Amino acid sequence: MSTIPPTIARSWLLLPADKSERFDAAADSEMDVVVLDVEDGCRQSEKERARREVRQWLEAGNHAWVRINDVRSPEWEKDLMALGHCPGLDGVMLAKTENPEHVSLTAARLAPDTPIVALVESADGLAAATEIAKTDQVVRLAFGIGDYRRDTGIGSSQIALAYTRSQFVVSSRVARVAPPIDGPTISNDTQVLMDAAEHAVEMGMTGKLCLRVDQAPYINEVLSPSAADVSWAGSVIDELGPGGERCRDGADLPRLARAQKIAHLAQAYAVVR
């Protein structure tokens, strides 16, 4: 099970919660975060069984996040009653978040300090993204591309969604939370997946939702500092000093800050120089 904190987690697997036979393999995979999905990933007729099996698995000493139904769904209260205080619950991904109140109502029904990722999937949610991100217990925003496109009629190309992705990044920065998590890539083509992840990085996003376990190594590679980045960072820190004691002028400070960030991520992701 990954020990990478959610604020810098790269790969987020959405795993249907009615497939309990796949829980162990997912937990043992290269995914940074496993999210057991009792919302859209789970058939309506199977939700009650799924909640029961998720709870049993967590109570057996396992850990995972859970994606719960949205606040307006009758399943939301059932999800929280069954799982909100369950041992092993690392965090909650809240579907179809559209305003800060959705987060506050959810947080009030969770164990104290349970982290929340707000999944924004509509124009209303995007318009309120900054205020949502400022809400207590929100650690990141995530982009629900499918429902967002259905709500807005926007296409799937990079240019069509560029404004939306930028809004996620800006809102996260204004709220002083970690950069956002991009939506999933449906294609089975590895190059398409890596291109999408590289585009997410270019847009300022630092995580990506995944639909299959085998996507983890590709996502993690693209969203991690490269060996060249790590080598550069090490050289800068050696030159300027870990605390900037050898900085010559103000121009050195941004370079050192970037190098320190890369070095921190490299250590967390076990990327070698």
Amino acid at 170: V
User: Nearest 5°: phi and psi at 140?
Assistant: -160, 160
| Sequence ranges of the binding site for Mg(2+) | 121, 147
Residues sharing a CB contact under 8 Å with residue 125, sequence separation 6 or more, in sequence order: 96, 97, 98, 99, 118, 132, 148
| Sequence ranges of the binding site | 67, 121, 147
**Separation of alpha carbons 30 and 11, rounded Å:** 8
**Separation of alpha carbons 257 and 13, rounded Å:** 31
Contact 103, 94 (CB under 8 A): yes
Q: For residue 69, what is the DSSP state?
A: P
Question: Residue 239, Cα to own-chain centre: how many angstroms?
Answer: 34
Terminal Cα distance for the chain, rounded: 24
Closest CA to 18 of 50, 65, 56, 45: 50
Residues sharing a CB contact under 8 Å with residue 31, sequence separation 6 or more, in sequence order: 2, 11, 12, 13, 210, 213, 216
| Sequence ranges of the binding site for substrate | 67, 121
